[in-house]
Amino acid sequence: MTKYDIAIIGGGPGGYVAAIRAAQLGLQPALIEADRVGGLCLNWGCIPSKALLWNAELVRLFRESEDFGITYDALHIDMAKAIDRSRTVVDRMVKGVEFLLKKHKVKMIDGRGRLTGAKEIAVEPAGEAESIEAEHIIVATGALARSLPGVEIDGETVITSREALELRETPASVVIVGGGPVGVEFAYFYRAYGAEVTVVELLDHLLPLEDEDVSRQLERAFKQQGIAFRTGAKVGAVVRSSGKAIVSITAEGKEEDLTADKVLIGIGMAANTEGVGLEEAGVELERGFVRIDDTMLTNVPSISAVGDVTGKLLLAHVASAQGVAAVERIAGRSAPPLEYEKLPRCTYCQPQVASLGLTEAQARERGIDVKVGTFPYRGNGKAIAIERTEGLAKLVVDARTREIVGYHIVGHDATELLAEASLGSVLETTPRELGWTVHAHPTLSEVVKEAALAVDGEAIHFWSE
């Protein structure tokens, strides 16, 4: 039985980053992966979807090109080529990760890992099984798309994001169940390619976990783009008929049937724990996810867990941060605890949505004396120059301590503006400090500075009664 310092089950952004960091710290890691490295994010999530969303932005620009003095005789839009390009991007990224693992001398083991003890893993490739031993084990098996009870996902008419990323022809109509990040991103993509899109969301707003002002702004933008949505709506059934699907919903006490060529289920993720051997190893679960402490340890001292399987915050960069933190502890080093509320959250439709920290409602619920500063994109020179003036930046501030406790941005390329918020959160930045920070002009980043100034009514480039 081969022995390693660390064995990692799952080669996604939590697992492969943990493996590389372990090698950097002089430990001997093994990375077990049944498919391709990069996990759901790289292969069937973050990367291919962002490649497609960039295609959607180009399509939208072409459709609006006359506003910029550009005309053409004919426009041909081929979604199949967009899909092909996204797979090329994925292949390039996978090869890059494989290169890094090889250069760091990480032992790659092909197969499905299953815990057989606190320090033992059976690896089951096609054919025969082998066993390895490790002083420390990290479970990084990720998550799988959830379905609605009673709704069969057939991969043809009723699909998840996995099948959507391979769909080579634009459907005439799509109903998307779920108004979270997955739902609104695919709504933007399909609408750009000409599909009739309706998003169905159980809660009161699209992106219901975001600040309400942000959600309302996104809803206004979607209406302008021709994206329909039903909020406060419950899906009762999905029935297939003659190659189409009929989605029965109830909203405000009224029943309605929506007919579409495709139904995309995007209601969230469930932990990928089946067949991992967690129960046999004595690892405790919580709400179906692996329960961990602040150092990523499970209740079994030799077993840690990172990424989506923990259910903390199902985002690739969070998985990577958890992977690094787990390995740092194993190596005897100290790492600052992850404050999940202060980690960045991004949605990549256009206008994009980027946030960190508390919403205004959450801050008030906690008894914080709140001050708010907002600044609209339409007051920003760069936004006006590129004709992308829909959106705003909003800061939520603790009036007593003057710390900015929430950063919320909706607008063009908003996700690129959030790094400043991440640093500001670590440094407990105040509106005065952010307001005094000189931002290059003209840049979209100025909306964050002006929102900080607006907390005390001192924004320069926008007048508010």
Res. 46: pLDDT tops 70: yes
pLDDT at 311: 97
Helix (H, G, I), strand (E, B) or coil at 158: strand
Q: For a pLDDT cut of 70, what percent of the chain falls above it?
A: 99
Entry pTM: 0.95
Q: Are 275 and 112 in contact (CB under 8 A)?
A: yes
Write the DSSP assignment of 179-221 as a string of letters: -SHHHHHHHHHHHHTT-EEEEEESSSSSSTTS-HHHHHHHHHH
Task: Please give the residue that has the higher pLDDT: either 133 or 463.
Answer: 133
Residue 126: per-residue pLDDT: 53
| 246-304 pLDDT tens trace | 999 999 899 999 999 999 999 999 999 999 999 999 999 999 999 999 999 999 999 99
Tell me how far apart the alpha carbons of residues 406 and 397 are, in angstroms, rounded to a whole number: 7
Q: What is the pLDDT of residue 463?
A: 82
Q: How far is CA 264 from the centre of its chain?
A: 17
Residue 257 class from Cβ within 10 Å (0-12 exposed, 13-18 middle, 19+ buried)? exposed
Answer yes or no: is pLDDT of 465 > 80. Answer: no
The mean predicted confidence, pLDDT, of the chain is 96
d(Cα 454, Cα 394) in Å, to the nearest integer?
9
Structure tokens, 413 = 């390329």
pLDDT digits (tens, 9 = 90+) for 122-144: 998 755 568 999 999 999 999 99
Which residue in this structure is represented by tokens 């190659």?
243
Place of tokens 């501030």: 397
Strands (E), 282-365: 285-286, 289-290, 303-305, 345-347, 352-357
Instruction: Give the model's pLDDT for residue 242.
Output: 87
Tens digit of each residue's pLDDT (9 = 90 or more) over 205-242: 999 999 999 999 999 999 999 999 999 999 999 999 88
Q: Tell me the two tokens of residue 292.
A: 């961990």
- For 289-294, the CB contacts below 8 A with 24+ separation are 290/139, 294/337, 294/338
- Give residue 393's pLDDT band: very low, low, confident or very high (50, 70, 90): very high
Q: Of these residues, 205, 408, 439, 441, which one is catalytic?
A: 441
Q: How far apart are CA 174 and CA 456, in angstroms?
A: 45
Mean pLDDT confidence for 342-355 = 97
76: annotated active-site residue = no
Identify the DSSP state of 430: -
The CB density around residue 423, as the number of other CB atoms within 10 Å, is 10
- Which has the closest alpha carbon to 319: 459, 465, 138? 138
- Has residue 55 got a pLDDT over 70? yes
| Mean pLDDT computed over 330-334 | 95
Res 128: pLDDT: 59
Q: What is the pLDDT of residues 92-121, one digit of tens each?
A: 999 999 999 999 999 999 999 999 999 999
User: pLDDT value at position 228?
Assistant: 98
> Which residues have CB under 8 Å from 152's CB, separation 6+?
158
